[in-house]
A and B are shown apart, each in its own frame.
Chain A
Amino acid sequence: AQSVTQPDIHITVSEGASLELRCNYSYGATPYLFWYVQSPGQGLQLLLKYFSGDTLVQGIKGFEAEFKRSQSSFNLRKPSVHWSDAAEYFCAGGNTGTASKLTFGTGTRLQVTL
């Protein structure tokens, strides 16, 4: 069965520190992969996406993610976290070539300390 796993439920980092949020996927073929961010009481905002090609993708707000087929991973990174980055981050996957559902991970809640 298709699945997306986010091993870390909660992460705390200091402002200015680097960040890496983990995401692993299990799909029959390479899926489309996405990172969304959800601020408290808000909807889901797309940060970045991977379809094919360059395995390092850049997104909004200074985020990037790297697709690693060998590790079935799509980790999200940011070199220097800002207090406004505190939110919940969701990794999601979808089958290629179809208007298919997204399968979401359980999310990682990021707390930023000043």
Chain B
Amino acid sequence: EPEVTQTPSHQVTQMGQEVILRCVPISNHLYFYWYRQILGQKVEFLVSFYNNEISEKSEIFDDQFSVERPDGSNFTLKIRSTKLEDSAMYFCASSKSQETQYFGPGTRLLVL
């Protein structure tokens, strides 16, 4: 069964550094999403992406964040200058239609 994959599974970075989190959505899916879950808190929406542009973004998704679909398979989330409060589990999700979103296993980001 097709799955959403994410790399790396864990990343440790220094405050102020740039990080790129990578996702490979399910191959015939058209809608892509990033969410994050700070430890002990609920899952929060960051951004949705369709037809090579952002469909919707949350207040969390400020100028430090960007998303890109550089080729036909990858979907990336870039954080330009990481802050301590960016430490979280980041989930990628994809959907074929405007309905069910399938989540990847997540990337645990730790900013020191």
Binding site for B on A (CB under 8 A): 32, 34, 36, 42-46, 49, 51, 90, 92, 94, 97-107
Q: For residue A77, give the distance in angstroms from its CB to the closest CB of chain B.
A: 20
Chief secondary structure at chain A's binding surface: loop
- A46:B100 contact, CB within 8 angstroms: yes
Contact of A90 among B42, B98, B101, B104 (CB under 8 A): B42
**Bound state CA distance, A36 and B93, in angstroms?**
13
Binding site for A on B (CB under 8 A): 31, 33, 35, 41-45, 48, 50, 55-56, 58, 91, 95, 98-106
- A102:B45 contact, CB within 8 angstroms: yes
Contact of B43 among A42, A49, A90, A99 (CB under 8 A): A90
Q: Which residues of A contact B41 (CB under 8 A)?
A: 106
Contact of A43 among B58, B98, B104 (CB under 8 A): B104
Q: For residue B59, give the distance in angstroms from its CB to the closest CB of chain A.
A: 12
| Closest chain B residue, CB of each to CB of A36 | B103
